[in-house]
Amino acid sequence: MSIKKEAFKKFLVLGILFVFPLVIYLFFASGINNFARLPILTEEVNEISAWSRLSGDPIQFENKISIVGFWGSDLVVRKADAFNLNQKIYKRFYQFVDFQFVMVVENGQEEMIKQVLLELQAGAATDLSKWKFIFGSKEEIQLLYESFNTDIKLNENKSTSTVFIVDRAKKLRGRDDDEEVGTLYGYNSSSVAELNKKMTDDVKVILAEYRLALKKNNSNRSK
């Protein structure tokens, strides 16, 4: 009887050592391939490559993973939001090659934007080169915003605290089963809790999607 018990124990130990890791691997592999996808909420937002900017090359959504904000002429109000975003999102992910922040600002606010950048730089020793700003009229800002097709309205200054995730194919990403609001088009940058609890997780998912697609493409090329 004791011999049978010893054999059973050995079989159980071997099962834990060899089968359990395989089960864990299959579980996470299944999660990456089937569950770790951030839903598409709008199929295509308008491109921004023709918009004016402070300097440098044209800014575009295509082939970039973009965090997009609409600041309009509310820059004094949005300074606190900018600090929250810089601390909680930008500093975590800015080293990812195709990652960028794009803030949509009303014409005439260029000097104010330079001041915002100086204040951000003073608050954190981080490369801010992936903070991008584009400038347009109220009408142009509204037209761009309407292409996002959300249930959120801009205020009279063409501004909102909500920021959005736009993928490399110019698709708006978010949640279609959020426990609080159902469809979550964007993230409240005035709320540190929401940036920590929701946006950080969703940015991780979209970047993991991209890495997975990149590995798959590289694997296919090598065959």
Could you report the per-residue pLDDT of 126-158, keeping only the tens digit for each?
899 999 999 999 999 999 999 999 999 999 999
Contact 145, 154 (CB under 8 A): yes
Is residue 216 predicted with pLDDT exceeding 90?
Answer: no
Which 3 state secondary structure label does DSSP give 182?
A: strand
Is residue 26 predicted with pLDDT exceeding 90?
Answer: no
Q: Which residue has the tokens 């992910």?
A: 93
Contact 40, 173 (CB under 8 A): yes
Predicted model pTM: 0.82
d(CA 138, CA 146): 12
Give me the CATH code for the 40-222 domain, please.
3.40.30.10
d(CA 10, CA 183): 51
Could you report the per-residue pLDDT of 44-55, keeping only the tens digit for each?
999 999 999 988
Domain boundaries along the sequence of the chain: 1-35, 40-222
d(CA 51, CA 141): 10
Is residue 29 predicted with pLDDT exceeding 60?
Answer: no
Is residue 9 predicted with pLDDT exceeding 90?
Answer: no
φ/ψ of 51, rounded to 5, equals -75, 150
